[in-house]
Amino acid sequence: MKNTNRIGLDIQKSKELATLLSDLLANYSILYQNARGYHWNIKGDKFFELHLKFEELYNNLLLKIDEIAERILTLGHVPGHKYTEYLRHSTIQESNEITDGNKAIEEVLASYKTILTKQRHILNLSAEINDEGTNALMSDYLREQEKLVWMYSAYLSK
């Protein structure tokens, strides 16, 4: 039992998983702030519709950011909290001021592609080490976000 953490998972694999979750946290945090920018700066004939959708998006992301950070803690590690670190580690880049709804949605779709790929990788590792907590979290996120990708894509396919 020396090689397991407090929740009975392999210490080294848990550290690897926490590192991947920290990377995911950075990406979520940048996407969250981008979504706030889309919400604040959107203009045009779809303003009312998109203003609400982007608010839904950032509220959803905020919940996931908290869940990911708490999962890192559950694994026995410390989540980062500095945007300077998030920017350094995130694949998703800060968005410039976006006023065009279609451009904002294209950026959201590109961000989700990145996040979905990272979550599948985490899902594979969590399954390998029998970490059902992380596995369930990633499965739930994947199912929800794949549907969102379909819906955002449908919006662009007018």
* Domain chopping of the chain, boundaries: 14-156
Tens digit of each residue's pLDDT (9 = 90 or more) over 129-151: 999 999 999 999 999 999 999 99
pLDDT exceeds cutoff 90 at 2: no
* pLDDT score recorded for residue 1: 64
**Strand, helix or coil at 5?**
coil
pLDDT exceeds cutoff 80 at 158: no
CATH class, range 14-156: mainly alpha
Question: Measured between alpha carbons, how far is 132 from 123 in angstroms, rounded to an integer?
Answer: 10
Question: Measured between alpha carbons, how far is 52 from 54 in angstroms, rounded to an integer?
Answer: 5
* pLDDT score recorded for residue 52: 97
Longest CA–CA separation in the chain, Å? 61
Tens digit of each residue's pLDDT (9 = 90 or more) over 4-60: 999 999 999 999 999 999 999 999 999 999 999 999 999 999 999 999 999 999 999
* pLDDT score recorded for residue 97: 81
